[in-house]
Amino acid sequence: MTVGRVAAQERMVDRASAYASQVLYGDVTRGGDVTLLYDSSLFGTRADAEPTFYVFTKSDGRGFAVISGDITIQPLLAYSTTSIMPCGATMPPCFEGWLRYVDRAVTYARSLHDTSNNPNIKLWNEGYVPQNAIMLNTARWSQTEPYNQQCPLDGGVPSLTGCTQTAVAVIMHYYRWPERAYGITEPYTTYTKSIDVPSRDLNHAYDWDNMLETYVEGEYSDVEATAVATLMADLGHSFSADYGAEATGAWPNHEALYENYGYSPANYTYLRSLYSDDSWHDMLRRELEAGNPIWYSGYMEDNSGHAFVLDGIDDNNYFHVNWGWGGYYDGFFEIDALILGEYEFDYNQYAIIGLVPMRDGVIDNWLSMYSSGIETDAVEFVEGASFSVKSIFMSNISVKDFVGQIRVGHCDKSGNRKAWLSDAVDFSVPSQYYGFVSDVKCEISEEVKEGDRLRAFYAAAGSDEWFEIRPYTDGAQWEVVMRYASIASTTSFDYDKSAGVIVVDYDNDVKSALYQSGAYVEDGVNIVRGKMTINTMRLSPGLQYTVLLVRDNVEEHTFTFTIKKMK
């Protein structure tokens, strides 16, 4: 039987509408009325082509949900239960860029024609209700009037502030820092429009009290306009912005943020592709849980870039995005690569971690693990034993030279330091460079319990405050587990009878495989870090299968199951 395109499209939009209703009304069983605002046809796709995404809103016009147009992509891509997405209004370039990325990713997924063993298909049947969220409540600013009042003119028209400057300004307003800036910027000529930008005196205080959370035309004073416009122009000059009335581009200047504005010298731009999903989420979540909004950007294949602010996260790792467009289109977004089976359709993403005020002079991310990280030949750790840490490779990502000490600590499974394992070792490394210490003598003075680990710490010269050294990339080992909890005690096995799916969850450092009579089974099995998903519909009834879990050079564990024959 052949199914016509129109009928298939109607079913997909109905399915997407039902999913959006659950999200927007917070009920997986009932939902409520939703309206389709638009779909991917706004990008000029063929009229007979099935949309790659749908954008719905509640019946009262508040909130929105962006739903995938294909079951091989996770259904929910973005949502807000409060923000407004005005029809017919100019769409912020950053939001449009994200939608175009979704459009291309779904189109690519369809070209693969692969629905076998795709974990996203199950998500369509589960529904989604927004979960607890951390929100930092940043200002809803934009790039035009009054924010750009002091930006250079382009053909007699004030240039846009630029998404980078707006995002950084929003973060500075959140902290209400600095109290004043210092220095004078250098004059320069812009690259695209050849606009002559004069030097700018930064030696003045900021009027934080007169900067509003958002600016509505006709509802702010000249003083309030000048307060925010001064900050925006200062940042644009400091970042040598490529000004223009239609678009302004720039990249944050880490040195200027430290020297002119008093932010941590270790504010650093991290590249998404160097991290696994879990590591990236953990790093961003830690920053947000510490109360620090994050400058974030994405670059598409055509090198067009868009910067914005991450100022929240929910329990399902949807990040709240402040697009810098006056609050419009803000919401919780899926910012990861869209996983298409064994393929990954992504764009370059960057995040500045450590963009925090230097109010007390403390730098808590000055050093990072680099290369092989921390290494030891010890294989057994017991109270009273002595051993050596062969080497600790570290990178100084900051714009300031490091002089201080390194020390190895004994931590519990949650990372809380129980005791010191070594004496302090003197260490120094220049800005933007790396170094190492070797043959660090250690002695265990406390009982070693399950989950205990050793980690390295640093303290700057003249300070007695110690900070753990985290990895710069996933490949750098930043801790050594001294005693593992058994695989059996940390593994769960769940069977969803209605879907015919088995999910095995285990520690991230454990490797897994499925066997039948000694033969490796691949069909119906999906393995990602810390999880194996088995589609039992692809297995043979009556046969016994074995799940093998291995922790290299430490332990292995197996368990078996059999698929019952249908009567």
Q: Give the whole-angstrom CA distance, residue 449 versus residue 69.
A: 49
Domains of the chain as residue ranges with CATH: 1-130 (no CATH), 141-360 (3.90.70.50), 367-481 (2.60.40.10), 488-562 (2.60.40.10)
- pLDDT per residue rounded down to tens, the chain (567 residues): 222 333 444 488 999 999 999 899 876 555 678 999 989 988 876 656 789 999 999 988 889 999 999 888 889 999 998 887 766 566 777 788 888 888 888 888 888 766 666 667 777 877 776 778 899 999 999 999 999 999 999 999 999 999 999 999 999 999 999 999 999 999 999 999 999 999 999 999 999 999 999 999 999 999 999 999 999 999 999 999 999 999 999 999 999 999 999 999 999 999 998 888 888 998 999 999 999 999 999 876 666 678 999 999 998 889 999 999 999 889 999 887 554 444 445 568 899 999 999 988 889 899 999 999 999 989 889 999 999 999 999 999 999 999 999 999 999 989 999 999 999 999 999 999 999 999 999 999 999 999 999 999 999 999 999 999 999 888 899 999 999 888 998 999 999 888 788 999 998 889 999 999 999 998 889 887 789 999 898 899 999 999 999 988 778 999 999 988 765
Angle in degrees, CA 94, 268, 161, rounded to 5: 40
Q: Which residues contact 375 (CB under 8 A, 6 or more apart)?
A: 389, 390, 391, 392, 477
Q: Give the whole-angstrom CA distance, residue 30 versus residue 158.
A: 50
For the chain, state the CA radius of gyration.
27
- pTM over 0.85? The answer is no
Q: Give the whole-angstrom CA distance, residue 475 versus residue 479.
A: 12
Question: Which tokens hold the place of 475?
Answer: 């490949």
In terms of DSSP bridges, do strands 157-158 and 188-189 run parallel, antiparallel, or are they unpaired? unpaired
CA trace torsion 326, 44, 346, 84 (10° rounding): 20
Q: Give the whole-angstrom CA distance, residue 172 versus residue 267.
A: 13
